[in-house]
A and B are shown apart, each in its own frame.
Chain A
């Protein structure tokens, strides 16, 4: 350092210009989307009336509520199972470290296509194809699951250590043995992570695909909303939130069993310390955020 009179925190003019640009953009976007203070204030008045009509929640049609919820649950379960079954081979094909380019590119294209549309939009297309009802919802969420699990599975496989794969290959093992002994054990814990995550996500989305007629509680919700039965809407929303939270807790239990090795209290013999340490669930923590945290 030659100069001692340096400022400790120099003003960063680029950052300041960025703030100005952001402010200009906000003003412009507000104007473009026609936000005005007056509208906001009238809205607040409406909001008070709206919330007043939502409480107390009342279950106007217990039958349709129950039927919708169970149907949503069924859609989520079947879509997750089918989606994961289809996604695993696609994810395997999409991994660039195990597969040649001619196999990985089509698989990656399928994954990209499945990921690019929101499940509700896919549901619209399937409603046209297979008619109203749960089947359309299942197929739409299968597409979403294939995109999500396929991408994460491919990424997980691309991050594995190839030493074990080489070791298995060196024994002259056929391809399937290579996969089941060299690859799958390395990605199993991450697979549990995103499979439970996908079930959770499908449960959330299965309550929504009904808005376009693809079965589940969403249809009941939307029609109650259009009839201005806001107290029933409130009851439906509360039960959806309850169901999702129960699902999240169950997913946590499953992750606990497979990844954190709970219920080890019944161990008959002490585990050797090396063996206990060998099954740490995750590898080194990735910097930033991983796409597994994406909750949509």
Chain B
């Protein structure tokens, strides 16, 4: 912002008069970040394989795509889309419920004020991180391998992917609770289950509902693609239509996904406004 003004620096041993926004180390660190970013961009542009002919062609192909998609095949909805769409919603909802059931104990174990044991906290956090670092499509691939194609694999994929998210945020919410109610109940000799239910729970309840709703909203989006790897739901209808090049049906499926996602987001926003 302001340059150091040498005229104000009376002597080298009066440091308080000279003000610099960043220290030398900070400037170098920032410069290093900019340098790495530029280097990464240059290297990526040079290395990435893009076929220019395909790119020139793109607007035409896009136009072709939309022409083929129009008109949207709404007649296909009752036959091939409705069931899959409802399945998708069930996958998202049931997956969220399963995730919450599994994430609550792990989240509790990750909170240091509930379980004052660093080893347990660490293991719980490791479980949460490993759940989050595997993409839901990868979880879906794994569960398709285990349980075969179908909604079961999709639900478990959603559930396992969500554990990390719900558990992490729930654990953080618990760590932020006030100590007072807990101490009051402990002083009255309440068993640990009562302490959890009457001291911690009322404090984390708003955060909990907000986390669950938020994750459900994400899961509705995610469960729509799981079908591409065979894990049930509307993605399978999309995959079939794509493989058969039935573009009006593809458009129908995309339209259905779009509607459901928008409705889910609006619903979640409204519910959050009411209860939180």
* Nearest chain A CB to B193 CB, angstrom units: 13
Q: Would A33 and B145 be within 8 Å (CB), given that A125-B65, A264-B25, A268-B23 are in contact?
A: no
Provide the B183-209 mask, 1 if CB < 8 A to any CB of A, else 0: 000000000000000100000001100
- Which residue from B94, B145, B272 sits with its C-beta under 8 Å from A29? B94
Provide the B48-88 mask, 1 if CB < 8 A to any CB of A, else 0: 11110011011001100100000000000000000000010
Say yes or no: A22 contacts B258, CB within 8 Å. Answer: no
Say yes or no: A33 contacts B41, CB within 8 Å. Answer: no
Kindly state whether residue A207 has any CB partner on chain B within 8 Å.
yes
Kindly state whether residue B122 has any CB partner on chain A within 8 Å.
no
Chain B contacts of A43 at CB under 8 A?
Answer: 146-148, 152
Say yes or no: B18 contacts A29, CB within 8 Å. Answer: no
Give chain B's interface residue range (CB within 8 Å of chain A).
35 or more
* Nearest chain A CB to B10 CB, angstrom units: 13
Q: Which of A231-252 contact B (CB under 8 A)?
A: 233, 237, 240-241, 244-245
Q: Would A268 and B24 be within 8 Å (CB), given that A118-B222, A129-B61, A296-B218 are in contact?
A: yes
Comparing B26-34, B102-110, B111-119, the segment that makes contact with chain A is B26-34
Say yes or no: A241 contacts B134, CB within 8 Å. Answer: yes
Say yes or no: A263 contacts B222, CB within 8 Å. Answer: no
CA distance A275 to B20 in the complex (A): 10
Kindly state whether residue A86 has any CB partner on chain B within 8 Å.
no
Q: Would A74 and B26 be within 8 Å (CB), given that A289-B210, A294-B218 are in contact?
A: no
- Which residue from B93, B97, B141, B147 sits with its C-beta under 8 Å from A225? B141
Say yes or no: B24 contacts A288, CB within 8 Å. Answer: no
- Which residue from B19, B87, B132 sits with its C-beta under 8 Å from A33? B87
Kindly state whether residue A269 has any CB partner on chain B within 8 Å.
yes
Say yes or no: B19 contacts A272, CB within 8 Å. Answer: yes
Kindly state whether residue B150 has any CB partner on chain A within 8 Å.
yes
Chain A contacts of B254 at CB under 8 A?
Answer: 117, 121
Q: Would A29 and B30 be within 8 Å (CB), given that A81-B41, A120-B137 are in contact?
A: no
Say yes or no: B276 contacts A288, CB within 8 Å. Answer: yes
Say yes or no: A117 contacts B18, CB within 8 Å. Answer: no
Name which residue of chain A comes closest to B50, CB basis: A135
Chain A contacts of B41 at CB under 8 A?
Answer: 77-78, 81
Q: Which of A255-281 contact B (CB under 8 A)?
A: 257-258, 261-272, 275
Say yes or no: A257 contacts B47, CB within 8 Å. Answer: no
Name which residue of chain A comes closest to B135, CB basis: A208
Kindly state whether residue A75 has any CB partner on chain B within 8 Å.
yes
Seen from chain B, the residues whose Cβ lies within 8 Å of a Cβ on chain A are 15-16, 18-20, 23-26, 28-30, 33, 37, 40-41, 43-45, 47-51, 54-55, 57-58, 61-62, 65, 87, 90-91, 93-94, 97, 130, 132-138, 141-142, 145-148, 150-152, 155, 165, 169, 198, 206-207, 210-211, 214, 218, 221-222, 224-225, 228-229, 232, 238, 242, 254, 257-258, 261-262, 272, 276
- 22 residue pairs A–B, Cβ–Cβ below 8 Å: A29-B93, A33-B150, A35-B152, A44-B146, A73-B44, A74-B44, A78-B45, A128-B65, A129-B58, A129-B61, A130-B61, A131-B51, A131-B54, A135-B55, A257-B26, A257-B33, A258-B30, A267-B25, A267-B26, A269-B16, A271-B23, A289-B207
Seed contacts A134-B49, A205-B135, A261-B26; 15 additional CB < 8 Å A-B pairs: A30-B94, A32-B87, A33-B94, A33-B232, A43-B147, A46-B148, A75-B48, A117-B254, A121-B238, A130-B57, A130-B58, A222-B229, A241-B134, A271-B19, A294-B218
